[in-house]
A and B are shown apart, each in its own frame.
Chain A
Amino acid sequence: MNTANRLELSRLIHRFGFGPKPGEYAALLATGITTARTTVLTPPAVDAGAQAITPPTLTDLGDYPPQKSAALVDFQKARQDQILQTQLWWLDRMASADHGLQERMTWFWHGHWATALGKVQYALPMYNQNQLLRTTALGNFKDQARAMIVDSAMLFWLDGNSNTDKSPNENLAREFMELFTLGVGSYTENDVQTVAKALTGYRTVRSAGTVSFNPKQHYSQPITFLGTTGVFDAPAISDYITSLPANAQYIPHRMWYRFISSTSPLLDQSVYDAFANRDIHFLVTALASSNAMSNPLHSQVKAPVDWFVSVCRALQVTPSTLPINSNVIRYLVAMGQEPMNPPNVGGWPADEAWINISSAQTRLAFSQYILQKARFDSITAVAADDHRIDALADLLGVAQWSERTKSVLRTALNDPKQMVLIAINSPDYVVNA
């Protein structure tokens, strides 16, 4: 077995997907790394596994009823129920999709355009944004940005909703340039204020997730920013900003940070070049084909959602079918990563931020909860000796067990559940080597 290929495949399947389903890792390995890479990077036209997941039933719940009213109790119950349904729907999709790339990229973009339920409050606009990120996940970044700048949840999240000609609010303008498209240092404070003017006039009804444009509240005079002058509305602003050279640098840099390394810089020019036309799929392909994929330095810690979903995929667990399924979200909150509720507009941290005794403890308790529904057939089918340990590596997509972990796994050869518990809490699994 080629160790280098095992490592590269383990990275491909975890970072450009959410880890293997049973049998997938060994099957891909057998095709050779080049074919495996193409397979991992090519989503099917229709993903039956993802399609089988029923979308949440979401309705416009309207405004909050008055404080202390009887209606408020029912409203809150319905609102929280829609949120839970939506979060579990997405986790179910991640865990069930036959091919991992589409959901992985949707997850990446969610962290990039980090929008949080904590402020948005309603599931419907978050769901709509999620679908938008999914349909544009591998398309052209300009299309994604143009849609996101007038997305209902985004407009509410960054106060674009209340940004009017007479009373501008800079929040969306600043973060759009700083965090979403250009990076800090690529614009001036004057640009922030000017762009904020041009982003005026967009209103959202967040409970319905609808967006309208009111020309009377829009600043329609010519503006000068980032080296250009003209009359702009929000999509035109987005188109101009995403055409700038800084955007061609910034997105590859962010993607490198999340997919390859949070500590070393992206130096590979071919990766930047792949994004010249803002084609996301080209960029992803360039990253996945980069030499960095086999560089042993670029280990990554699995963030809580990565870890949870990869465990579910390998052990055939559908998150929403776990007992008292709201506990899935509680555990993820305890680990610091609730889907659709990032801590701030900068998204979640990476790597060592996820390693501490608190997360180690929660991961252990979470494991015991998940394993109630796990299926172990693909390891019980193998003799209870070192072959079973190897089979577990393939099942979980681990390139190689350390001697430490092997020695602990050997103590549980006849107890598949315990073996899996050990494996998914081991440093060899918590860290994607």
Chain B
Amino acid sequence: MGVSGAGAIATQLSIADIVHAGQTRPLPSGTPILVVVTLYGGNDGLNTVIPHTDPIYKASRPGIYVPDSQLIPLDSELALNGTMTGFKTLWDAGDLAIVRGVGYPTPDLSHFTSMAIWQSASPDESQRTGWIGRWLDTQSHDPMQAIGLGSVLPPLLVGENEVGSVLPLGGLVIPSGTTSYDLHKLGSKDPSDGPLQAAAATAINDLLGLSKNLTPILKMPAPQPDNLPTQAGGSFGSDSSLSQQLDIVAKLIAAQAPTKVWAVSLGGFDTHADEVKGQSTLLGTVSSAITRFIGQMHGSNRQNDVIVLVHSEFGRRVAANGTQGTDHGTAGPVFVIGNGVDGGKFYGEEPSLSKLVDGNLAVTTDFRDIYATLIEDVLKVPAEQVIPGWKTKLPLLLV
């Protein structure tokens, strides 16, 4: 990851802080919230949004094409992978848009370089900061504005001056007694601290700053999805770490957290071999976890505020590689989901299977068009402040 390890250090905060902030300065209803879902490994877009009626599709992928019986047609040309029943429901409701052929000029087929490009929104030159990090730089300092779920800070949340925060997956246990008292003092900063020691002290301070109202909030059931029927295949995502991450996000949104950007992720998409079963299962997880999350937003009355972005670092090669998988590729579909999305339709051109570039799909949409849309229409900052020189957008949102 080219942008991880940039000089800035994450401002650490505790869930208690977030909950407390939700009580003292709740995010006003109507404030947009962006949830970024990153699929690590390079999701095979052609087996996600499938050109099922194009004969080249099946001919290119003997053994790993998705058969007609296992897909959900969206129109006469494209279909969703059959595990993505939840996404089909959202599509039918007009809440899910699919942007086709997304990538950037001169695709790089390295996982690390390409993910760094997506997270930094800077294909042309290596850039230490992430796109959400640079949005944070335009905001007044608030460690709760952007939060990543998991044990490691995602590079997209690193700005020049401001940095997002991380939250662990599980519930936190408050250390008790003497231990808690002594360690609390370890959390104070010392004049001799370098930046890393200071960050370690802050982490301890925030851990020990957990308040009594924290545990109940983490233990409470996640908001119930109240508007969607139970999905066939819904159990796919129930134990996945993506569902766990989104459950915590749903709880904290319900607790009125003053957070405008959440970052969650799922790995395992690097399907060089035995792709069919593995990728379909993952896609089922993505679809059911996000569909459930959207339902939870209805339950929390935030359905008009939340926009979900789903992307990966690249798509995969059009032709199967002969080991029942696919090698690294280029363009892929991006999903933008939410009540405020002008969905149930496609954006960007579908890359042609007969006009490949070195065996790869041609990029038809620059991902910065999507980012610029989200920056301006969701995060309410001129896109150029975050992606210098970038002006074009897509009409993805009902404004």
Contacts and interface: CB of A to CB of B under 8 A. Distances in A.
Interface of A: 158-159, 162-164, 166-171, 174, 178-179, 184, 189, 192, 262-263, 296-297, 299-301, 334-336, 343-346, 349-361, 364-365, 400, 402-405, 407-408, 411-412, 418, 421-422, 425-428, 430-431, 433
Interface stretch (B5-13, B22-30, B222-230): B5-13
A169 B200 contact: no
Contacts of B345: none
A425 to B, nearest CB: 6
A336 B7 contact: no
A402 B207 CA distance: 20
Given A350-B5, A352-B5, A353-B153, A427 B325 contact: no
Contact of A402 (B9, B153, B192): B192
Contact of B207 (A167, A350, A360): A360
A272 B153 CA distance: 31
Nearest to B6: A263
A334 B194 CA distance: 26
30 contacts: A163-B323, A170-B328, A171-B327, A174-B110, A178-B112, A344-B267, A349-B5, A351-B5, A355-B9, A355-B199, A356-B151, A356-B153, A356-B168, A357-B12, A357-B14, A357-B167, A358-B166, A361-B207, A364-B183, A402-B193, A404-B190, A405-B190, A408-B182, A408-B186, A411-B182, A418-B179, A422-B182, A427-B201, A431-B197, A433-B197
Contacts of A421: 179
Nearest to B201: A427
A427 B204 contact: yes
A365 B204 CA distance: 13
Contact of B12 (A164, A166, A356): A356
Contacts, number: 186
Nearest to A346: B112
A374 to B, nearest CB: 16
A418 B321 contact: no
Nearest to B107: A189
B175 interface: yes
Contacts of B153: 352-353, 356
Nearest to A163: B323
A287 B193 CA distance: 25
Contacts of A296: 194
Closest 10 CB pairs of A and B: A167-B322, A358-B168, A427-B200, A402-B190, A162-B323, A404-B190, A427-B197, A360-B203, A336-B151, A170-B327
A432 to B, nearest CB: 9
A171 B272 contact: yes
Interface string B169-188: 11011010011001101101
A299 B197 contact: yes
Contacts of A360: 200, 203-204, 206-207
Contacts of B323: 159, 162-163, 167, 169
A427 B5 contact: no
Given A355-B10, A418-B182, 13 more contacts: A159-B272, A174-B109, A343-B267, A349-B1, A351-B5, A355-B203, A356-B151, A358-B151, A404-B185, A407-B185, A422-B182, A422-B186, A427-B190
B264 to A, nearest CB: 15
Contacts of A430: 197, 200
B281 interface: no
Contact of B203 (A350, A357, A411): A357
Contacts of A166: 322
A171 B175 CA distance: 45
B40 interface: yes
B111 interface: yes
Contact of A425 (B7, B41, B186, B273): B186
Nearest to A350: B5
B239 interface: no
B273 A162 contact: yes
Given A166-B322, A170-B321, A357 B196 contact: no
B58 interface: no
A335 B273 contact: no
Nearest to A177: B110
A343 B154 CA distance: 14
B168 A361 contact: yes
Contacts of A433: 194, 197
